[in-house]
């Protein structure tokens, strides 16, 4: 069982490298979860390729989210795909610099990405080009901040009645 | 040629442009069972288009979690799918345990399975009872809610709370199940199948109920996959994906149970899948009680599991651990973990990135409701308003999980 899983992962990596060797930045496997960092340019093409390739067949989008790394001035968009036939998962990451948070949408491949991308836009300000309705989803329309970015404080910073020095991050 | 009887109209009346009416369903409509709005474009009683608006009870859990030590994140998870909060709690603990690479004794796993299956029963029970109410059958609802009360009493014996349970701890349970809890569980296991059977007799082959639900709010398996459906809604469409089998957690691999699968993905199939899952959950609970090994009710993880209170008063080490745990000062490894459990509505995932600090660096909840609710406009297009209500309740959209 274990060896077949390792073989599967090798096949996936081979399939990916066969066509997009230059796009792959890093392949790792934290906590046994295949994670591939990619260049940002061809992400939709790669997801489409992984969807159709017979060795990969990642036809299920489990989740999609943003991660803000303030020291690297970048926001990561993480796609987590699942092959329901072989029960294999993969995580794809692209790094967007803070001054250019634009990436194409994957709603043409997965309709379910619609709201996930809206949520990522709402909280991180990542603009998904070509998205059918890229508006805020959970926050109010008038909001001007992207609240999940690290520089956005949880509480009003002018409050003086609370001392959080010993608690929280 | 005789004179024309009727004078031909040489300027035919332009057919007026079709007029649609717009209807606000929600935000607080009693039939939506939660706070979310749908602006419906109606042609008579037929729905032409729907625009859902969500976020009315958004509480920024992902942001709050970045400012709380790991054990304080649990109360946030309670409030997501509040119909089955123990699954959320235990799913979160399992995520942290995965990050910390903690292995737990079998007894903890089995006790957790008992609680999680009870939670699944309450979740499905509420959903199915409410489908009954929305078709006009109120009797079954009353029977079923009485049983939910009994499950909540079991929770109460285990952790002291009923709805937002905060059940268990990182590394196990806060205490063993009391004899009273076991007694209540036995009573429930004896009484519930009778009620469930009676509920089935009321609805399953009921002509009115079948006419109202079969072929309503259906979704094909391809669409369901494309919309990233999980849980009973996906299984009703015919895909046998269940996290308990695909990625067994908490020793689910030791148990023997069946994954019910539907065919049409309509309201009736979703109802039947949930119904069968309740029987299967009962079966799993019985197996777990039968196989339950002796042993401790928590793992050996002094860094994260609070020492007994008596020791804190006269044992230096216990006092240090107590202080460190409460202040969230214990070291955690760096890393990123994804752990998923089969929640009441589907794959409930926790994507946790730790940078070694006292709080998560990033915590993303994969909330099944949020993901499948976006298919709702498509599912109700062309159906009647009353069917739209039924579709909504059969999808089991929980506002807390929708908005996080």
**Residue B364 forms contact with A (CB below 8 Å):** yes
**Residue B59 forms contact with A (CB below 8 Å):** no
What is the percent of chain B where pLDDT is above 90? Answer: 70
Output the CA angle B395-A61-A128, nearest 5 degrees.
Answer: 105
Domain map (residue ranges) of chain B: 69-403
Q: Determine the Cα–Cα distance for residues B359 and B16; give it in Å rounded to an integer.
A: 62
Residue B212 confidence (pLDDT) above 50 = yes
pLDDT computed for residue B356 by the predictor = 87
Q: Determine the Cα–Cα distance for residues A83 and B354; give it in Å rounded to an integer.
A: 26
Model pTM? 0.92
Residue A166 confidence (pLDDT) above 70 = no
Q: Determine the Cα–Cα distance for residues B240 and B243; give it in Å rounded to an integer.
A: 10
pLDDT in tens, A21-42: 888 999 999 888 999 999 998 9
- Least confident stretch, A3-7, B10-14, B96-100, B289-293: B10-14
CA of B404: which chain A residue's CA is closest?
A138
A63·B98 Cβ contact <8 A = no
A169·B335 Cβ contact <8 A = no
Q: How many beta carbons lie within 10 A of that of residue B356, not counting itself?
A: 10
Domain map (residue ranges) of chain A: 2-111
The residue assigned the tokens 């109120």 is B138
pLDDT in tens, B291-335: 999 999 999 988 889 999 899 999 999 999 999 888 888 888 999
Indicate the burial class of B380 (C-beta count within 10 angstroms; 0-12, 13-18, 19 or more): buried
pLDDT computed for residue B371 by the predictor = 93
Cβ within 8 Å of residue B173, ≥6 positions away:
B108, B111, B158, B167, B297, B298
Residue A33 has its nearest CB partner, among B241, B338, B362, at: B338
Q: Which chain A residues are closer than 8 Å to B241 by Cβ?
A: 84
**Residue B297 forms contact with A (CB below 8 Å):** no
A138·B98 Cβ contact <8 A = no
Q: Determine the Cα–Cα distance for residues B73 and B391; give it in Å rounded to an integer.
A: 33
Q: Determine the Cα–Cα distance for residues A7 and A2; give it in Å rounded to an integer.
A: 9
Residue B228 has its nearest CB partner, among A62, A89, A138, at: A62
Confidence band, pLDDT 50/70/90 cuts, at residue A102? very high
A31·B335 Cβ contact <8 A = yes
A139·B55 Cβ contact <8 A = yes
pLDDT in tens, B141-155: 999 999 999 999 999
Residue A149 confidence (pLDDT) above 60 = yes
- Least confident stretch, A108-112, B4-8, B74-78, B329-333: B4-8
Chain A residues near any Cβ of chain B (below 8 Å)? 30-31, 33, 35, 59-63, 65, 67-68, 78, 80, 84, 87, 89, 91, 110-116, 119, 123, 137-140, 147-148, 152, 154, 166, 168-169
**Segment 205-224 of chain B within 8 Å of chain A by CB:** 223
pLDDT computed for residue A165 by the predictor = 65
Q: Which chain A residues are closer than 8 Å to B335 by Cβ?
A: 30-31
Buried b (16+ CB within 10 A) or exposed e, A44-60: bebbebbbebebbbbbb
Confidence band, pLDDT 50/70/90 cuts, at residue B18? confident
Q: How many beta carbons lie within 10 A of that of residue A152, not counting itself?
A: 12
pLDDT in tens, B92-114: 999 999 999 999 999 999 999 99
Contact B191, B150 (CB under 8 A): yes
Minimal C-alpha gap between A31 and chain B (Å): 6
The mean pLDDT value for B366-385 works out to 92
Q: Torsion angle of alpha carbons B186, B189, B190, B191, nearest 10°? A: 120
Q: B27: cis peptide before it, omega within 30°? A: yes
Counting other chains too, the contacts that B9-15 makes at CB distance below 8 Å and 24 or more residues apart are none
Contact B242, B259 (CB under 8 A): yes
CATH number of B69-403: 1.10.645.10
Residue B9 confidence (pLDDT) above 90 = no
pLDDT in tens, B215-242: 998 899 999 999 999 999 999 999 999 9
pLDDT computed for residue B27 by the predictor = 82
pLDDT computed for residue B2 by the predictor = 55
pLDDT computed for residue B375 by the predictor = 92
Residue B1 confidence (pLDDT) above 60 = no
Tokens of A64: 């999609």
Tokens of A110: 């997965």
pLDDT computed for residue B6 by the predictor = 60
- Least confident stretch, A86-95, B30-39, B274-283: B30-39
Return the bridge partners of A90, or none.
Answer: A81
Residue A145 confidence (pLDDT) above 80 = yes
Q: Which chain B residues are closer than 8 Å to A78 by Cβ?
A: 351
User: Quick one: residue A113, left, alpha or beta (phi over 0 = left, psi -120 to 50 = alpha)?
Assistant: alpha
A31·B99 Cβ contact <8 A = yes
pLDDT computed for residue A89 by the predictor = 92
Tokens of B43: 């042609």
Minimal C-alpha gap between A153 and chain B (Å): 9
- Closest to B327 (Cα-Cα) out of A155, A159, A165, A161: A165
Minimal C-alpha gap between B6 and chain A (Å): 53
**Residue B370 forms contact with A (CB below 8 Å):** yes
CATH number of A2-111: 3.30.460.80
Check residue B375 and report its DSSP letter: G
The mean pLDDT value for B34-50 works out to 89
- Residue A115 belongs to what H/E stretch? helix A113-124
A61·B403 Cβ contact <8 A = no
pLDDT computed for residue A3 by the predictor = 60
pLDDT computed for residue A1 by the predictor = 47
The mean pLDDT value for B370-375 works out to 92
């Amino acid at each position: 069982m274990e060896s077949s899983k390792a073989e599967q992962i090798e096949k996936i990596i081979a399939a990916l490298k066969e066509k997009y060797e230059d796009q792959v930045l890093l392949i790792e496997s934290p906590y046994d979860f295949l994670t591939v960092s990619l260049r940002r340019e061809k992400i939709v093409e790669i997801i489409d390729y992984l969807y159709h390739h017979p060795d990969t067949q990642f036809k299920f989008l489990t989740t999609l989210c943003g991660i803000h790394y303030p020291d690297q001035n970048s926001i990561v968009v993480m796609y987590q795909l699942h092959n329901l036939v072989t029960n294999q998962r993969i995580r794809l990451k692209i790094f967007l610099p803070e001054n250019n948070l634009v990436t194409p949408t994957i709603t043409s491949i997965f309709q379910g990405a619609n709201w996930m991308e809206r949520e990522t836009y709402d909280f991180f300000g990542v603009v998904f080009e070509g998205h059918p309705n890229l508006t805020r989803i959970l926050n109010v329309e008038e909001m001007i901040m992207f609240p999940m970015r690290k520089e956005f404080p949880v509480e009003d910073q002018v409050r003086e009645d609370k001392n959080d020095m010993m608690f929280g991050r | 040629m005789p004179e024309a009887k009727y004078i031909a109209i040489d300027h035919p009346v332009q057919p007026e442009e079709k007029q649609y009416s717009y209807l606000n369903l929600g935000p607080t409509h009693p039939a939506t069972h939660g706070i979310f709005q749908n602006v419906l474009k109606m042609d008579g009683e037929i729905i032409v288009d729907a625009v859902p608006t969500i976020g009315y009870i958004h509480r920024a859990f992902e942001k709050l979690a970045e400012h709380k030590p790991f054990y304080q994140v649990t109360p946030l998870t309670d409030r997501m799918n509040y119909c089955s909060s123990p699954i959320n709690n235990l799913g979160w603990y399992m995520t942290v345990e995965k990050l910390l690479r903690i292995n737990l004794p079998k007894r903890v796993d089995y006790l957790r399975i008992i609680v999680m299956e009870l939670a699944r029963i309450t979740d499905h029970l509420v959903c199915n009872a409410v489908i009954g109410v929305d078709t006009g059958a109120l009797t079954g609802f009353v029977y079923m809610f009485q049983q939910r009360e009994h499950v909540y009493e079991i929770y109460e014996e285990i952790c002291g709370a009923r709805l937002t349970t905060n059940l268990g701890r990182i590394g196990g349970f806060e205490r063993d199940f009391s004899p009273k809890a076991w007694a209540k569980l036995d009573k429930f296991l004896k009484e519930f199948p009778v009620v469930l059977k009676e509920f089935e007799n009321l609805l399953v082959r009921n002509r009115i109920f079948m006419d109202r639900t079969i072929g309503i709010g259906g979704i094909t398996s391809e669409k369901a996959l494309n919309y990233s459906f999980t849980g009973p809604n996906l299984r009703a469409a015919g895909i046998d994906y269940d996290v308990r089998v695909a990625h067994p957690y908490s020793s689910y691999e030791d148990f023997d149970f069946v994954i019910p699968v539907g065919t049409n993905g309509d309201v009736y199939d979703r109802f039947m899948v949930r119904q069968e899952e309740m029987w299967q959950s009962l079966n799993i609970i019985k197996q777990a009680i039968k196989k339950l090994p002796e042993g401790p009710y928590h793992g050996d993880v002094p860094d994260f599991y609070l020492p007994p209170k008596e020791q804190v008063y006269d044992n230096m080490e216990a006092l240090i651990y107590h202080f460190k745990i409460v202040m969230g000062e214990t070291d955690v490894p760096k890393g990123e973990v994804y752990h998923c459990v089969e929640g009441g509505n589907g794959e409930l995932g926790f994507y946790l990135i730790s940078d070694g600090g006292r709080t998560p660096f990033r915590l993303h909840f994969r909330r099944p409701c949020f993901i499948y609710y976006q298919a709702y406009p498509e599912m109700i297009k062309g159906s009647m308003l009353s069917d739209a209500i039924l579709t909504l309740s059969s999808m089991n959209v929980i506002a807390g999980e929708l908005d996080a």
